[in-house]
A and B are shown apart, each in its own frame.
Chain A
Amino acid sequence: MSDTSVVSTQLDIEAIRAEFPVLHQQVNGKPLVYFDNAATNQKPLQVINALKHHYEADNANIHRGIHTLAERSTTAFEDTRKAVQTFINANEAEEIIFTKGTTESINLVASSWGRKFLQSGDEIIVSGLEHHSNIVPWQLIAQEKGAKVRAIPVMENGDLDIAAFSQLLSDKTRLVAVNHASNSLGTINPVKQIIEMAHARGAKVLIDGAQASSHLPIDVQQLNADFYAFSAHKMYGPTGVGILYGKRSLLEKMPPYQGGGEMIKEVSFEKTTFNDIPYKFEAGTPNIADVVAFKAAIDFINRVGKEHIAQYEEQLLTYATSQLKNIEGVKIIGEALHKVSVVSFVVEGIHHFDLGMWMDAKGVAVRTGHHCTQPLMDRFCIEGTTRASFSVYNTIEEIDVFIGALKDIIKKLKP
């Protein structure tokens, strides 16, 4: 019944799948269908081997070391920084700070920038589509400073209400923090427009790019973003590595986030002077091996080609969406015109938890629950959804397995 003719791609998906060892296994006696890519996606051999190679051949602590291994490790670490710079078209590599994830990147800005620049009465605007990690850090600093967090409402189709956003903007707005793409609904937000509107009122903008980085082209200069945060593990890279891009002019004005080694120039008990960016924000020994291996993930995306990935994932999304719509009782939550490859849905009369468990029994990995976006769930008056999200190694045949499983479960649970 599979209509494979709808998908034409320049990509050799079978060859790509062969690069991902984890995909080739049985789960509960069924071939694994991995549709939980928005939570974290799988890693190609190139990344796994880079990690292994680092520990087998180059491992040493970086910076300040004068021996050969230290030199090699430092070079590899800094090569990743340059690769990230190119990947998001930052003006300079020093504007790339390594953290442990999107969450830490956002917390860094909230703590450092927020502590210095926020005052009582100021406002921070987030959106109703945000992940908790782009809400809670702002609430914490707002509470400390007597500032206020306001939220851009979400419309019925899952798009942000830009007209309402323009109403929310005021001279009190200091910062706007929104995601590039929503992890729960897939909505791609008009971030360039949002940035322009915010800048016109003198506010800075942080973009949470966690869900955009593996799907959309990112050009921080063209966007004119002040900060851009994302995670390596959502783009075929290792866990434990996050990126914070910030404009040099801003980063230089910001106080350090944490104190320790690496981030200092000179320390005495009377006075400590801080290192230059990016090191000022990278206290302690960083996650060297994973940062090094992250470059292999960027290489992978560049090799396959972001446009090709986006085009192919769009086809997967379109196919999955149309198949889901054919099933009685299934309601898709979030039907924005522009979406990354994420589809969230509820099934009438069936709790997402039961559905997810039964899907797993059939070898299909989906995510269920509120996806760390409780305000968004409240907006749609639901407790949670079942979410399928696709990466470049997924196939139309897998979507058929998923749809077949869904139909079967619905038949069983709704006699």
Chain B
Amino acid sequence: MSQSIQDVQNEIIEEFSMLDGDMEMTIGYVMELGETLEPLEEEKKTEENIVKGCQSKVWLDAQLQGDKIHFKADSNTAITKGLVSILVRILSGRSPKEIVDADLFFIDKVGLNRFIGTQRSNGLGAMIKQMKIYGLAFATQVKSQ
């Protein structure tokens, strides 16, 4: 049994708490996390896969594998890539319903809103919204299977 969405978020909160709220260390850590992101194939970096609302570019690809959604993503900036990687870590490999219902409490707890600023967190918000839209879209497919 894999970890729940709750568990992964708590794990992330724990990891960030070790950085003591230091802005530089937080950015460094976010970038490090970006390095671990599963690469997105170049041909998937299309206009349609660009998430709107982000200051920097983000590509998000979603595939239904069985009854789970598998996310892949990339960004042209290291910080945003790190942020996406956190979302992918939490939401990828979940059922559409889990994704739609997910309460992403880690953002407030980690203080990502504070660290990333309003313009940026709008981008983060847009990514989350897009992931949930995929959740909704695939939910009907899963039901009809």
Tally of A interface residues using CB under 8 Å: 13
Decide: A353 and B79 in contact? CB cutoff 8 A.
Answer: yes
Q: Mark A353-377, 1 if CB is under 8 A from B, else 0.
A: 1100110111000000100000000
- Taking a contact as CB atoms closer than 8 A, the residue among B23, B28, B55 that contacts A353 in the complex is B55
Task: Name the prevailing secondary structure of the A interface residues.
Answer: helix
Interchain nearest-CB distance for A7 vs B (Å): 29
Decide: B23 and A29 in contact? CB cutoff 8 A.
Answer: yes
Residues of A within 8 A of B23 (CB): 28-29, 360-361
Residues of A within 8 A of B27 (CB): 357-358, 361
In the complex, the chain A residue whose C-beta lies closest to that of B76 is A351
A413 contacts partner chain B, Cβ-Cβ < 8 Å:
yes
Residues of B within 8 A of A360 (CB): 23
Decide: A354 and B22 in contact? CB cutoff 8 A.
Answer: no
Task: Name the prevailing secondary structure of the B interface residues.
Answer: helix
Interchain nearest-CB distance for B122 vs A (Å): 14
B56 contacts partner chain A, Cβ-Cβ < 8 Å:
yes
A412 contacts partner chain B, Cβ-Cβ < 8 Å:
yes
Interchain nearest-CB distance for A375 vs B (Å): 20
Contacts A351-B56, A412-B28 given; does A357 touch B22 at CB 8 Å:
no
Decide: B24 and A353 in contact? CB cutoff 8 A.
Answer: no
In the bound complex, how far is the Cα of B26 from the Cα of A360, in angstroms?
12
Residues of B within 8 A of A413 (CB): 31, 78
B95 contacts partner chain A, Cβ-Cβ < 8 Å:
no
Decide: B77 and A353 in contact? CB cutoff 8 A.
Answer: yes
Decide: A361 and B56 in contact? CB cutoff 8 A.
Answer: no
B80 contacts partner chain A, Cβ-Cβ < 8 Å:
yes
Which residues 318-363 of A sit at the B interface, judged by CB distance below 8 A?
A: 351, 353-354, 357-358, 360-362
Given contacts A353-B56, A354-B31, 11 further A-B contacts (CB under 8 A): A29-B23, A351-B56, A351-B77, A351-B78, A353-B55, A357-B27, A358-B24, A358-B27, A361-B26, A412-B28, A413-B31
Which residues of A pack against B, CB within 8 Å?
A: 28-29, 351, 353-354, 357-358, 360-362, 369, 412-413
Name 30 A/B residue pairs within 8 A (Cβ), A-sorted.
A28-B23, A28-B24, A29-B22, A29-B23, A351-B56, A351-B77, A351-B78, A353-B55, A353-B56, A353-B77, A353-B79, A353-B80, A354-B31, A354-B77, A354-B78, A354-B79, A357-B27, A357-B79, A358-B24, A358-B27, A360-B23, A361-B23, A361-B24, A361-B26, A361-B27, A362-B24, A369-B55, A412-B28, A413-B31, A413-B78
